[in-house]
Structure 1
Amino acid sequence: MRRRLLIAVAAGVPLAASVYLPTAWAGTESSTAQSFNCSTVTVPAPAGTEVESVVAVERPAGTVDVPEITPLPAAHIADVPAYCDVTVTLTHPGEGDHAKVKVWLPKDTWNGRLQTVGGSAFAAGDYGTALAGAVKNGYAAATTDAGVKTYLDTSWALNTEGQVDAALLKNFGSRSEHEAAVVAKQVINGYYGRAASYAYFNGCSTGGRQGYAEAQRHPDDYDGILANAPAINWDEFEVATLWPQVVMNNEKTYPSGCEFDAFNTAAVKACDPLDGVKDGLVENPARCDFDPRRLIGTTVVCEGKELTITAADAAVVRKIWDGPRTTSGTKLWSGVPIGADLKFPYLAGTLPDANGDLKGVPFPVPSAWVASWVKKQPSFDVSTITYSQFTELFRQSQAEYDEVIGTDNPDLSAFRRSGGKLLTWHGRQDQLIPTRGTVAYRQQVEQKMGGSERVDDFYRLFLAPGTAHCALNGQTDDLGALRAWVEQGKAPSTLTATLVNSSGKQVTRDLCAYPKVSRYKGYGDPAVADSFRCVLPYQY
């Protein structure tokens, strides 16, 4: 049942342009009966902004070519239907920012819905791949760059005076995402002559965090929010994920990638049977108590060389899995999940230096966060951080940035009242964002809002065993499940997903809605979802 029609409301300064927009609408789910004029577009400015420019271009059906943008290769998305490509540039008077909102409007195949797509790492939005995919599936698609740079370009962090650019960080934190929703609805309403029947947000990682920011701060923007592997608790986990490098540098021990893999292989083998069957998947790494010291003295072959695992290697892995602590032993954050990939290019990456000695190679996202936003010195050498300095940096990041980008407010009561639905999956072996942070947030929401059953009415979390960061994208019909929940009231109790086990084989599994977990029935093919059932943890 449709909750409401989303009506675009203009606010703020007068229209940026006064031009023709079609007003007729033919059909309910598709615009096949009528093509629309993309020559010009009118966009009222969202509150607190000015519209600097509006550019609208007709794009013919065919292939969308997405350029290479470090670290991602070029992409070519074929069979994209004709669409109107609208770019709206906004600024906040006196703040000197220039944030672009892109809206792609399928000419003849619109399904009546908006899908806004999020970003990744330090990029606030999409460069064409997700937009093209949404248009192919009939959506009007939108994204924003928030006025910042690409995935790993953090040159926008500080202004010319060496201070944090508060306006751009606010944009990146949440402000631009809300304004993109406002602009997209205005453009849709004008171009098609009616509002979108439903509005969805879809993002993973940074995009997942943006989805949570929308639910927390702008609960009326979207009917459904798909926010996966979310980078919530940003001010904490970004510092916390530098911990593997801090450990190796302080212990002066740098295991090779082969050695890290040996620890993970042994841990997965030891903890695999905990869900009732050996299937190459660890249902819950948090229950895995494998001690890395069991491998001391064993050998691994790495690039033709035989290496012996030492007590120092095992101590490093124990600290990484355990997670950051103060020098007095107080836990600061969760560690990398057992079984998650540690080696280069991830959090415990090591590579040979000029002398052939292994040295740590920090992952660029937490490294840049600590250097540019916390230390406010982009050239700061994170390899010099001591254990005590790490605690100071962690606390400083919390104090300075939780309010603007923490995205961890557990009060979702306004989102619940709006009728919105929030769906999230997170890989159990996420090598970049510790899964326990998402679980902890869900628990905080339950404490705030009256328990698991009440929260299940509008917010469901699914945890995927054996799954790395954002690795379920395309392996489960998560958006379809969200649509059925929003539009038909069918709340998902499971998500059927294709997983890859430790042997590299594909298996199907029904991911269970938290807090339930998957348990083998005792019979049937372990590679088939029907051989498992969802049970509460105390039945495990």
Structure 2
Amino acid sequence: MRTAVVIIGALLLPVALTVSAVVSTVLLTGHGGCPRPSRPYLPGARILAMSTVGRPGEMNARAPRLGRPVASGVPAFCDVTVVLTHPPLRDRVRIEVWLPRSTWNGRFQATGGGAFAAGEFQRALVPAVRRGYAAASTDAGEPGNAKSPPVWALRRDRTINEGLLANFAYRSVHEMSQIAKQVIAGFYGRPAAYSYFTGCSTGGRQGLIEAQRYPRDFDGILADAPAIAWNRLTPAQFWPQVVMNEAGVHPTACEFAAFNRAAIAACDGDDGRLDGIIGRPDTCRFDPGRLVGTSLRCHGRTIRISQADADIVRRIWDGPTTRAGERQWYGLPRGASFSWLAGTSKPLFGSRHGAPFPVAADWIRYFLLRQPHRDVSTIGYAEFERLFDESRARYSAVIGSDDPDLSAFRSAGGKMITWHGLADQAIFPQGTVDYRRRVESAMGGAEATDRFYRVFLAPGVRHCSGGAGPVPTDPLAALVDWVEHGRAPDTLPAATTGAHPNTSGALCRYPQQATADRPCH
């Protein structure tokens, strides 16, 4: 697993000084004073182009091709861009490796993406190089960002582009790691001592895929709020729209918020603490029917909660089921905002209608219906059940990302941490809990699993960040300490962010939890 025997920690400063000396001897050999590493080799792929550009530090640093300052505190770095293809696919995969010139900490950090974007480049790479990591990101041959629809999914004849799907599903991060490691070794004159992967959402799914398919790529993986079982999760994210479509009722955000406030009031104290947070959404049994007949003011109007409103909320919380009542996947946790998955909109003229989560709607349009312009507002229970079954059957092998057999990752010495907000409004945390339990079953129980894979649940925290609860402050540091010094974390330091009261705390290692009178137990 480890690519070198250099020990980082007490020797960090000498390593950085040595790297500075290595770089200074070759500053004049490349564009902008950067050395040009040798062209990497990747089996099954062909390198189309490679460039090296120097980027100054601090606020003068310019993001590649964007012409904007990247951020303060960024050290001078060299940006190595590699473009490759997989004949005969004719794709063009871009990989960027950012290399701090004189502040390298001896480590490599690969970064993940979000939604249908395999990588986030500047957003992910800036904090990595700021902390001294040589870092990399990739677009998997699918240019765009987390808000872009997956136009790459379909060929002109509207068949699925299996090659680009493979890039997105599992191949891109593995190949990025192979390319980046060669670039790093050529640039600094030595390989990275340790390699890490960090990602949330789609990035969390990519981290799991790495542990499952390529267990020797990374010493440590931080796979947060992972989009586990993508082929089931993504259609499940569309379930709230189906429920509203069938009912012919589309509640306002104000009405949905009233149900959440009532649920929090009812279940806040279940963990023994009154802090405005549902500590255990899975045990919250608040019945939305209790609000039927109550009135509330929304945008200057008085609205009365109906039985139809309550039934919609109940079905969204319960999650998708077949028409026979069999569970298909998990639902939105009580306390999580409805705004992403159960969004609605009111045009100037006409009635209120659904505003589906783009990732879920695009998965259905591009990968299941293969009709990019299809109006999905007509999808009801019968069609949803058929689409869900197709998604589960057709895409499990390529993007299921939920194989619980992590024996090869464990044997390679790998360590993995996952944290997940319990008020996640996009990816249901019960899916993470389900995966952890299945890993325990496959790997010899909870104690054996804890030796290499630990999960931390964050009450009140939204998708990847924010919310009323404490968010992990530096989970990567905990992972590094575990990998390099053998100190497995029992808690993750955390603090609230944004407009919420500034509080700090610690997230408990699953299945432990904190109560009013006892810490994690």
Fold similarity call, TM over 0.5: yes
> For 1:481-526, what per-residue CA distance to the aligned partner results, in whole angstroms no more than 9, with x for missing partners?
000000000000011211369x9323323111111112111xxxxx
Q: Does 1:99 align with 2:101?
A: no
Aligned pairs (5 A) from 1:126-525: 126-149=120-143, 150-151=145-146, 152-343=148-339, 346-355=340-349, 357-471=351-465, 475-499=472-496, 504-521=500-517
SS at match of 2:152: coil
- Paired with 1:252 and 1:111, the residues of 2 have a C-alpha distance of 57
Match of 1:77 in 2: 71
Q: Following TM superposition, by how much is the alpha carbon of 1:93 offset from its aligned partner in structure 2, in angstroms?
A: 1.1
SS at match of 2:153: coil
Match of 2:15 in 1: 28
SS at match of 2:37: coil
- Paired with 2:209 and 2:331, the residues of 1 have a C-alpha distance of 24
> For 1:33-61, what per-residue CA distance to the aligned partner results, in whole angstroms no more than 9, with x for missing partners?
44354242312221111101101111111
- Paired with 2:503 and 2:177, the residues of 1 have a C-alpha distance of 37
The structure-2 alpha-carbon separation of the partners of 1:67 and 1:469, relative to structure 1 and needing over 3 Å to count, comes to farther
- Paired with 2:185 and 2:471, the residues of 1 have a C-alpha distance of 30
Query: Which letter maps to 2:319?
Result: G
- Answer whether contact 2:472 2:492 (CA < 8 A) is retained: no
Query: Which letter maps to 2:480?
Result: R
- Answer whether contact 2:96 2:121 (CA < 8 A) is retained: no
- Answer whether contact 2:268 2:276 (CA < 8 A) is retained: yes
Match of 1:18 in 2: none
Match of 1:87 in 2: 81
- Answer whether contact 2:16 2:102 (CA < 8 A) is retained: no
The structure-2 alpha-carbon separation of the partners of 1:59 and 1:215, relative to structure 1 and needing over 3 Å to count, comes to same
Superposition TM-score, scaled by structure 2 size: 0.92
Query: Which letter maps to 1:52?
Result: L
- Answer whether contact 2:42 2:175 (CA < 8 A) is retained: yes
Match of 1:62 in 2: 58
The structure-2 alpha-carbon separation of the partners of 1:39 and 1:496, relative to structure 1 and needing over 3 Å to count, comes to closer
- Answer whether contact 1:256 1:350 (CA < 8 A) is retained: yes
- Paired with 1:75 and 1:339, the residues of 2 have a C-alpha distance of 38
- Paired with 1:39 and 1:494, the residues of 2 have a C-alpha distance of 42
Query: Which letter maps to 2:428?
Result: P
The structure-2 alpha-carbon separation of the partners of 1:68 and 1:29, relative to structure 1 and needing over 3 Å to count, comes to closer
Match of 1:534 in 2: 520
Match of 2:3 in 1: 5
Q: Following TM superposition, by how much is the alpha carbon of 1:354 offset from its aligned partner in structure 2, in angstroms?
A: 3.3
What do you get for the CA RMSD once the two structures are aligned? 2.0
- Paired with 1:190 and 1:67, the residues of 2 have a C-alpha distance of 22
Query: Which letter maps to 1:350?
Result: T
> For 1:81-117, what per-residue CA distance to the aligned partner results, in whole angstroms no more than 9, with x for missing partners?
1111000011111011111111000001000000111
Return 162-171 or 146-155, whichever deviates more: 146-155
- Paired with 1:356 and 1:466, the residues of 2 have a C-alpha distance of 36
Match of 2:48 in 1: 52
- Paired with 1:111 and 1:145, the residues of 2 have a C-alpha distance of 25
SS at match of 2:177: helix
Larger helix proportion of the pair: 2
What 5-or-longer segments of structure 1 have no aligned partner?
8-25, 522-531, 536-540
- Paired with 2:337 and 2:63, the residues of 1 have a C-alpha distance of 28
- Paired with 1:334 and 1:140, the residues of 2 have a C-alpha distance of 38
Return 269-278 or 143-152, whichever deviates more: 143-152
Match of 1:22 in 2: none
Q: Following TM superposition, by how much is the alpha carbon of 1:384 offset from its aligned partner in structure 2, in angstroms?
A: 1.2
- Paired with 1:513 and 1:183, the residues of 2 have a C-alpha distance of 34
Total equivalences in the alignment: 499
The structure-2 alpha-carbon separation of the partners of 1:428 and 1:67, relative to structure 1 and needing over 3 Å to count, comes to farther
- Answer whether contact 1:66 1:129 (CA < 8 A) is retained: no
> For 1:107-136, what per-residue CA distance to the aligned partner results, in whole angstroms no more than 9, with x for missing partners?
010000001111010110023022111111
Superposition TM-score, scaled by structure 1 size: 0.89
- Paired with 1:504 and 1:84, the residues of 2 have a C-alpha distance of 39
What 5-or-longer segments of structure 2 have no aligned partner?
6-12, 28-33
Query: Which letter maps to 1:468?
Result: R
> For 1:431-485, what per-residue CA distance to the aligned partner results, in whole angstroms no more than 9, with x for missing partners?
0001111110111100011100000000000000001100169741100000000
- Answer whether contact 2:97 2:136 (CA < 8 A) is retained: yes
Q: Following TM superposition, by how much is the alpha carbon of 1:256 offset from its aligned partner in structure 2, in angstroms?
A: 0.5
- Paired with 2:70 and 2:16, the residues of 1 have a C-alpha distance of 28
Return 123-132 or 313-322, whichever deviates more: 123-132
- Paired with 2:102 and 2:451, the residues of 1 have a C-alpha distance of 36
The structure-2 alpha-carbon separation of the partners of 1:29 and 1:416, relative to structure 1 and needing over 3 Å to count, comes to farther
